[in-house]
Amino acid sequence: MRDYVLHTAVLVGTAALVLTELLSPFHLLTRWPLGAAWLLAVLVWARLRPRAAVQWRFLPLETGLAVFTLAIGGIVALTAILSPPNSADAMTYHLPRVVYWAQSGSVAFFPTPYLNQIMLQPLAEYLMLHTYVLTGGDRLINLIAFAAYAGSIVGVSAIAAALGLNTRSQAWAALFCATLPNAILQASGAKNDFLLAFWLVCAVYFAARRDAPYLALSAALALATKGTAYLFLPPVLLYAAAVLPRRQLAWIAAAICLLNGPQYARNLQLSGSPLGFDSAQANGVFRWRNEHLTWKPAVSNALRHTSEQLGARSPRWNQSVYDVVVRIHRALGIDPQDRDTTWPGARYAPPLNANHEANANNRWHLLLIVAAAVFALGTRNRQWTLYAAALVAAFLLFCLYLKWQPFLARLELPLFVLGAPLAALLVEKLRYPAAAVILALFLVNNARPVLFENWTRPLKGPLSLWVTARDANYFSDMGQWNNRPSYLESVDRTARSGCTRVGLDTSENQVEYPFLALLRERNPRVRFVHTGVANPSARYAAAGAPLPCAVLCPDCIANQQKIALYKDIGPPIEIGRFLLFLAK
C-alpha cells in the first residue's frame, strides 16, 4: 500500500507539472480546460493503475503508534483548513505568482520588482495554481503542504521497511516524522519546504528499491520545487550511481531536463542562467550564496545552524550555547558575524525556542538522529553509516553554499524528515519495547505546544482560528509591520473606486497578497499588474496595455520619485505609510 501511495504521488506531481507547461503557452490554465485535463488524466490512471495490495495485521504497539500519528495529523489538517495562507513568504511570492498566473492563464514570466515571483522553482505553486483556479480561491492552498506532510509520514516508514527495519521501527519512524515541531508548523501553511521533503523521501525510497524511472521522476520533481534540492539531492544521486546499472542513470538526466526544461529556458532568457539571478532584486545585494566557498563558511554555518536547533525555553541555556559557538569561532579564527557568510542586516545571537514555522527547532529529534548515527558508526553498520553520512554531506553542502540567517531552520526540514528512518534504527536496537513507547510518548508530549499554539495559526488563545475572522488571519505573520489598517483602507478605497485594472508598485514592500486576496473578494473582476519595475523583468510588460486606473505603493510615503511617477493617475492618498493613486 505504501509503495502504491508513493508511486501515485509521483505520477500526480509529474502530471501537474506537465499539464501546466502544456496548457500555459495557449493561456488555457483556466477552470474548464484544466478541469478537463485532470479528468482525462484520472480516467487514464483509473484504467492503467495497478491494484494496491493492502495488508493489515493488528499489532498492539504498531497500532498505538499509528493512532498517535493519525491524531496529530488530524489536528494539523484541521489547522490547515481553518487558516488562510499567511506566512510572510506566501504573502510576498508564493501566492502572488499564483494570482498573476491565474489571471493570465499562463505561467509565462511577467514584470515584477521581486524576481522570486518568477525565477524560483515553481512546482509547489503550480499545485497551488490548480487548486486556486479550480476552486476559485485559496481555501485549499494549505492542504498541499499537509499532503506532503502525510506523504512523508508514509514515505519514511516505507524507507525503514526497504532498509530492513521491523514493523515497530517503521511505525516509530512515521511518528518521529509526524512530531517534528517544524514539520507540524509548516504542514498547515503555504511554504514549499515540505513538498521538497516529500520528493526527497520518494527519491530515497525508490533508490533503495532500485526503481530507476521513479527515482528519476522524484529527483526531477525535487529540483522543480525548491533550490535547496540542488544541495540536498547529490548524496542520493551518488548512492543511486553506486547501486544502479549505468544505462539506467540516463533516466535521471532525461527526467531532470524534460521536467525542468521550460523553467530553465525562461530563466535563461531572463538572466542567462537556468536558475535565474543570485538575488531577488538582481543587484547582488541580498545574494543567497556565501561570498567564498571554502571550509570556513561551511564550519561557521554548521556551528550556527546547529546552535539554532538547540534553542530551549531557558535563556541561560541559550546563552551558554551561543557562548560555546562564539568561542569555537574564535579558536578557529572565524568571525561569527562575518558579512561574507551572514545575510545583510542579520546578526548571530543566542538561539530561540519559537513556535513559528520559519525558525522552530527540532532539538530532541536532532539528538535522537545524532545518537542513531553514532550507534551505526560504533556498530560498524555499513548501510546505516552511509545513510547518516549522506545526511551529514547534504547538511554541509547547505552550510557551504548558503549564507546564514536566523530563519533558515525551515530549510533544514527535509534533512530531519529523512533522518526519521535513521532514528528508528536506534529504537529497533532497544532491548525493551517499553522504551520505544516512552520515547513515543515523549515526542507526542513535546509536540503539544506547536500543535495548539502555532504563532501564526493558533488553535487556542485569544487569537485562535476558532474565534478570529479568516480575512484577519492573512495578517497573522505581519505583526512586526503593524500595517493591517493600511491594507484594509487601501482595499476599501480601491474597491469603491470601481477600478478593475490595479497597479502595484512593490519596490519598497513586497508583501502584496493580502491586498490581492481581499480586493478580489470585493471585486472578482479586478486584474493586477506591477508598475515601477526597473529590473530585467520589465521586458515582459505587455505592449500597448492600458494604464491602471489605480496604483498602490506600500511604504512609499513621502517618496517624491513615486509621487512624480504616478501623478498622471491622480493625487497621492496617504494611508499610513502607503500611497494610493486613484484615477478620477
Residue 253's CB is within 10 A of a number of other CB atoms, namely 12
| Half-sphere exposure (Cβ direction) of 85: Cα atoms closer than 13 Å | 33
Digitized pLDDT (tens) for each residue of the chain, 584 residues in all: 899 999 999 999 999 999 999 999 999 999 999 999 999 999 988 877 776 665 656 577 888 999 999 999 999 999 999 999 999 999 999 999 999 999 999 999 999 999 999 999 999 999 999 999 999 999 999 999 999 999 999 999 999 999 999 999 999 999 999 999 999 999 999 999 999 999 999 999 999 999 999 999 999 999 999 999 999 999 999 988 888 888 888 999 999 999 999 999 999 999 999 999 999 888 888 899 999 999 999 999 999 999 999 999 999 999 999 999 999 999 999 999 999 999 999 999 999 989 999 999 999 999 999 999 999 999 888 999 999 999 999 999 999 999 999 999 999 999 999 999 999 999 888 877 788 889 999 999 999 999 999 999 999 999 999 999 999 999 999 988 999 999 999 999 999 999 999 999 999 999 999 999 999 999 999 999 999 999 999 999 988 889 999 999 999 999 999 999 999 999 999 999 999 999 98
pLDDT on residue 51: 67
How large is the angle between the packed helices 123-135 and 193-208, nearest 10 degrees?
A: 120
Q: Under a CB-based contact definition with an 8 Å cutoff, are residues 404 and 301 in contact? A: yes
How large is the angle between the packed helices 246-271 and 234-243, nearest 10 degrees?
A: 150
What domains sit in the chain, N to C, each tagged with a CATH number? 295-442 (no CATH), 479-582 (3.40.50)
Q: Which residue type, as a one-letter code, is found at position 49? A: R
User: Strand, coil or helix: what is 554?
Assistant: coil
CA pair distance 437, 420, nearest whole angstrom: 16
| Half-sphere exposure (Cβ direction) of 367: Cα atoms closer than 13 Å | 7
CA pair distance 89, 450, nearest whole angstrom: 20
Q: Under a CB-based contact definition with an 8 Å cutoff, are residues 24 and 118 in contact? A: no
CA pair distance 201, 184, nearest whole angstrom: 17
Residue 464 C-alpha cell reads as: 485562535
Phi-psi category of 276—alpha, beta or left, where left has phi over 0 and alpha has psi -120 to 50? left
Residue 278 C-alpha cell reads as: 543570485
Residue 449 C-alpha cell reads as: 505546544
The arrangement of strands across the sheet holding 578-582 comes to 527-530, 501-504, 550-553, 578-582, 572-575
pLDDT digits (tens, 9 = 90+) for 27-44: 999 999 999 999 999 998
- Return the ∠ at Cα 263 (arms to 261 and 268), rounded to 5°: 90
Q: How far is CA 519 from the centre of its chain?
A: 26
Q: Under a CB-based contact definition with an 8 Å cutoff, are residues 569 and 547 in contact? A: yes
User: Strand, coil or helix: what is 454?
Assistant: coil
- pTM over 0.85, yes/no: yes
Residues 6 or more apart whose CB falls under 8 angstroms from that of 473 comprise 83, 84, 86, 457, 465
Q: How far is CA 221 from the centre of its chain?
A: 13
Residues 6 or more apart whose CB falls under 8 angstroms from that of 519 comprise 491, 494, 495, 502, 526
Q: Under a CB-based contact definition with an 8 Å cutoff, are residues 65 and 172 in contact? A: yes
Q: What is the DSSP letter of 501?
A: E
Handedness of CA 339, 345, 346, 349 (dihedral sign): positive
User: Strand, coil or helix: what is 436?
Assistant: helix
pLDDT on residue 409: 94
Please name the residue ranges forming H helices in 137-282: 142-162, 167-178, 181-186, 193-208, 212-223, 229-232, 234-243, 246-271
pLDDT on residue 281: 87
* DSSP codes of every residue in 57-108: ---HHHHHHHHHHHHHHHHHHHHHHHSPP--HHIIIIIHHHHHHHHHHTS--
Residues 6 or more apart whose CB falls under 8 angstroms from that of 34 comprise 19, 23, 28, 130, 133, 134
Residue 24 C-alpha cell reads as: 500555459
515, 517, 519, 520: CA torsion to nearest 10 = 150
Output Rg (C-alpha) for the chain, integer angstroms.
24
Backbone angles phi, psi at 350, to 5 degrees: -55, 145
Q: Under a CB-based contact definition with an 8 Å cutoff, are residues 532 and 565 in contact? A: yes
